[in-house]
Amino acid sequence: MKFFDKTKLYAPSVVRLGVGVVFFLIGLDQLLKPTLWASYFPQTLPFGLSVAQAVLANGIFDIVIGALLLLGLITRIASAIAVLHLLGVIYTLGYNDISIRDIGILLGALSVFLHGSDKLCLDKKLWSKQ
């Protein structure tokens, strides 16, 4: 069991990286295949946005959040934004097969928020006192 005693220090990093990868890849997919994602968006959007514009904006947003989580920069803020975003997505989509997946990602993002910066975050390297 000594092996697992040493590896549990990295569990928060694995969750952060997992959530970051999902956000980054979904954002990238939205930029590369926006027509496939359009059906997940409401047809009437505020501020005169078209669905195509909303998909592209959301793709950029997801890539930024994913990159921040992958790098471990402003980790708690990025994960809080991810949690709020996922709550909005789940509310918009309602309860279905997609939202079940999103609930799992939401819990991962909430875990990252509650833990804050982990051992492998750039936050620790940039802001820790030497």
Domain boundaries, the chain: 12-118
Q: What is the pLDDT of residues 18-73, one digit of tens each?
A: 999 999 999 999 999 999 999 888 888 888 889 999 999 999 999 999 999 999 99
Q: What is the pLDDT of residues 89-130, one digit of tens each?
A: 999 889 988 899 999 999 999 999 999 999 999 998 887 765
- Rounded to whole angstroms, what are the CA distances from 64 to 100, 103, 122? 23, 20, 15
CA angle 64, 67, 71 (to 5 degrees): 140
